[in-house]
Amino acid sequence: MQSNPDIRTGLFHGLEAWHVRTPSATAVISVFGGQLLSFIPEGQPDLLWLSPQRAELPTPIRGGVPVCWPWFGRQGQDADAPAHGLVRTARWELQHAGQNEAGDVELQLAPSPPGHPGLRLQMHLRIGRQLRQELTTGNTGTSPVTFTQALHSYFRVGDANQVEVEGLDGLQYLDKYEDYAQQRMQQGPWSLRDPRDPGRSDRIYTGTDGHYVLRDPVLQRRIEIRSEGSQTLVAWNPGAEAAANMADVGDGWRDYVCLEVANAGPEQITLVPGARHQLVQTLASSAL
């Protein structure tokens, strides 16, 4: 592992960030929230969408890959708890950086302060032709702790109405628009053209095998997502009506689809003292 990878600090869309360059890709990670803001494999458009409209910090950043931890949404929390947890508005520190023989840059980051009295979180990134992102949660306390989490990826697409996601056919899901009242079954690929509730989606899929493919006919590419340490995927796009009331989305809803590898809904993680859990996503893209 080399000790001098190509990493610099500087602004990105007005945000303090680490800029990473490798022989096969570039990436940008925000100091605020430890949020991956950009990942561009060589010769391709950015895999991630970032809203061009942004409120002043500490309002959360819309886009990229927000880190939701130690809860997803407000699951198990009071109504006044910050949505999606404690670390997406925290300042993060770069603890270690190196470069392997293949040229991939590897980073280790953590929120400061840790955010939870009994849990510690670290994030590992390996940036190359593919991107690997890992959340490692450890129980440093004296009692078991239950938590939920997600890597809330906003994938850039040519037209959200035209993309399809494979890997969900036949799976059960819970629908937020029904207050998660009952399980339903996915039929065929996921898309915003689902006749049951067209034009929007906010679903928690369970029992997944951790392999999904987003097909984008407009940008002529496929994005492959693989996960470990999770059997849950959240598929979200607010659609035109709801997005019109979101200042940092608006017409931008057409430009992204959120596919979030997670432990949420019925799938929660309980760690005994001294135990650790890893949630991983690996992203790769190629031409259709």
Q: pLDDT for 182-197, tens place per residue? A: 999 999 999 999 999 9
**What pLDDT was estimated at residue 144?**
97
Least confident of 79-83, 155-159, 211-215: 79-83
Does residue 49 carry a pLDDT above 90? Answer: yes
**What pLDDT was estimated at residue 97?**
96
Side-chain-facing half-sphere of 161: CA atoms under 13 Å: 7
Query: Which residues, listed in sequence order, are joined to residue 259 by a DSSP beta bridge?
Result: 153, 235
Identify the band that residue 40 occupies on the pLDDT scale cut at 50, 70 and 90: very high
Does residue 69 carry a pLDDT above 90? Answer: yes
Alpha-carbon distance of 210 to 231, in angstroms, equals 6
Show Cβ contacts of residue 189 under 8 Å, excluding neighbours closer than 6 positions. Answer: 164, 165, 166, 168, 169, 215
Show Cβ contacts of residue 241 under 8 Å, excluding neighbours closer than 6 positions. Answer: 199, 200
**What pLDDT was estimated at residue 161?**
97
Residue count (the chain): 288
Task: Tell me what the mean pLDDT of segment 169-193 comes to.
Answer: 96
Residue 206 near residue 231, CB atoms below 8 Å = yes
Identify the band that residue 43 occupies on the pLDDT scale cut at 50, 70 and 90: very high
**What pLDDT was estimated at residue 77?**
86
Q: Global pTM? A: 0.96
Does residue 135 carry a pLDDT above 60? Answer: yes
Identify the band that residue 115 occupies on the pLDDT scale cut at 50, 70 and 90: confident
Which helix (DSSP H) or strand (DSSP E) does residue 239 occupy?
Answer: helix 239-243
Distance of CA 225 to the CA centre of its chain: 11
* Residues 80-102: tens digit of each pLDDT: 888 999 999 999 999 999 999 89
User: Right CATH number for 6-287 from 3.90.660.10, 3.40.50.2000, 2.70.98.10, 2.60.40.1220?
Assistant: 2.70.98.10
**What pLDDT was estimated at residue 113?**
83
Alpha-carbon distance of 137 to 123, in angstroms, equals 9
Place of tokens 């945000």: 15
Does residue 1 carry a pLDDT above 60? Answer: no
**What pLDDT was estimated at residue 79?**
87
Question: Burial of 26 by CB count in 10 Å (0-12 exposed, 13-18 middle, 19+ buried)?
Answer: middle
Percent of the chain with pLDDT over 90: 91
Place of tokens 């840790």: 114
* Residues 224-279: tens digit of each pLDDT: 999 999 989 999 999 999 999 999 999 999 999 999 999 999 999 999 999 999 99
Question: In this structure, what is the dihedral angle of CA atoms 283, 284, 287, 288, given to the nearest 10 degrees?
Answer: -60
Identify the band that residue 152 occupies on the pLDDT scale cut at 50, 70 and 90: very high
Alpha-carbon distance of 24 to 155, in angstroms, equals 19
Task: Tell me what the mean pLDDT of segment 55-68 comes to.
Answer: 95
Distances from the Cα of 161 to the Cα of 49, 236, 238, 279, angstroms: 16, 12, 12, 29
Which helix (DSSP H) or strand (DSSP E) does residue 91 occupy?
Answer: strand 91-99
**What pLDDT was estimated at residue 2?**
61
Mean predicted lDDT score pLDDT of the chain = 95
Distance of CA 67 to the CA centre of its chain: 6
Task: Tell me what the mean pLDDT of segment 190-213 comes to.
Answer: 96
Boundaries of every domain in the chain: 6-287
Identify the band that residue 3 occupies on the pLDDT scale cut at 50, 70 and 90: low
From 32, 101, 97, 96, select the one nearest 66 (Cα to Cα). 32
Does residue 200 carry a pLDDT above 90? Answer: yes
Alpha-carbon distance of 197 to 190, in angstroms, equals 12
Maximum Cα–Cα distance for the chain, whole Å? 53
